[in-house]
């Protein structure tokens, strides 16, 4: 009997995280209404990625380059497409970071104070929206992973590039590796402009590389320091896979 995924055999799916964004640098929730695009350092990171792609040819002849609709991803995606010699196929909201609802634009400190809770998934909390009008963690993972699967089906057997967010990278790991939506002690942190690549065997997704940001190596001005809880300088407690890094007891920063 032919495996259900047989038509996807040989499909390469590469998820690129955008460069450092203003919302990352200023520690606020950058949703549809408040994302102000990339910082100067983020633009430099994107330029470094473009130089790498031109030099190595590792993503030559993609079937398509897609982005989320958020400015930080669209800016990154435009540069990636240019480096690959193609046009951006389009922008999809289902590739966006977790929708924040009325928390859009709040600093993470203000978010915690206003809602008296964090964004960290915690059992039943996985089904709570980030804020009224926003998206739950479990709903986000289902939506983002579904968008990646849709792109793979649409470009079966070829290379497709999705320029998106740290949370979308996380969703791919959770869905494609069969991890629980909430798993205490599991922490992800894809680097800005990193490449996470999947290849379909015809039976399942195979992780080829995760958070490959070799183009940033050795350039201090391009690095973005890890948050204290991730480096071990602060006690994170029980942390689950999140849409980008989150301070202990605080909200997950939008990627």
Question: Residue 246 falls within a domain, yes or no?
Answer: no
pLDDT value, residue 182: 74
Question: Residue 111 falls within a domain, yes or no?
Answer: yes
pLDDT tens string 226-252: 654 444 443 333 333 334 433 333 334
Distance CA(252)–CA(244), nearest Å, equals 6
Question: Residue 240 falls within a domain, yes or no?
Answer: no
Q: What is the pTM of this model?
A: 0.87
What average pLDDT does range 9-14 have in this prediction? 97
What domain range includes position 156? 6-231
How many domains, the chain? 1
CATH at 45: 3.40.50.1240
Which structure tokens are listed for 142? 């289902």
Is residue 90's pLDDT more than 50? yes
Residues listed for the chain: 255
| Bridge-based pairing state of the strands 195-200 and 205-212 | antiparallel
- Residue 83: CA count within 13 A, CB half-sphere: 21
| Bridge-based pairing state of the strands 205-212 and 90-92 | unpaired
């Amino acid at each position: 009997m032919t495996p259900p995924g047989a038509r996807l055999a040989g499909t390469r799916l590469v998820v690129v995280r955008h460069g450092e964004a203003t919302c990352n640098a200023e520690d606020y929730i950058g949703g549809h209404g408040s994302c102000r695009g990339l910082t100067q350092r983020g633009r430099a990171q994107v330029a470094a990625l473009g130089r790498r792609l031109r030099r190595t040819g590792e993503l030559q002849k993609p079937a398509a380059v897609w982005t989320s609709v958020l400015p930080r991803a669209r800016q990154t995606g435009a540069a990636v497409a240019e480096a690959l010699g193609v046009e951006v196929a389009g922008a999809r909201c289902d590739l966006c970071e977790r929708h924040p609802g009325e928390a859009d634009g709040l600093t993470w400190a203000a978010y915690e104070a206003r809602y008296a809770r964090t964004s960290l998934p915690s059992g039943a909390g996985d089904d709570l929206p980030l804020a009224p009008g926003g998206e739950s963690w479990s709903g986000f993972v289902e939506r983002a992973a579904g968008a990646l699967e849709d792109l793979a089906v649409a470009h079966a057997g070829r290379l497709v590039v999705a320029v998106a967010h740290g949370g979308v990278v996380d969703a791919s790991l959770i869905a494609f590796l069969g991890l629980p939506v909430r798993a205490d002690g599991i922490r992800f942190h894809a680097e800005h402009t990193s490449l996470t690549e999947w290849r379909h065997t015809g039976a399942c997704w195979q992780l080829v590389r995760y958070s490959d940001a070799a183009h940033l190596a050795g350039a201090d001005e391009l690095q973005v320091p890890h948050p204290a809880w991730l480096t071990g300088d602060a006690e994170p407690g029980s942390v689950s896979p999140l849409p980008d890094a989150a301070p202990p007891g605080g909200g997950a920063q939008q990627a």
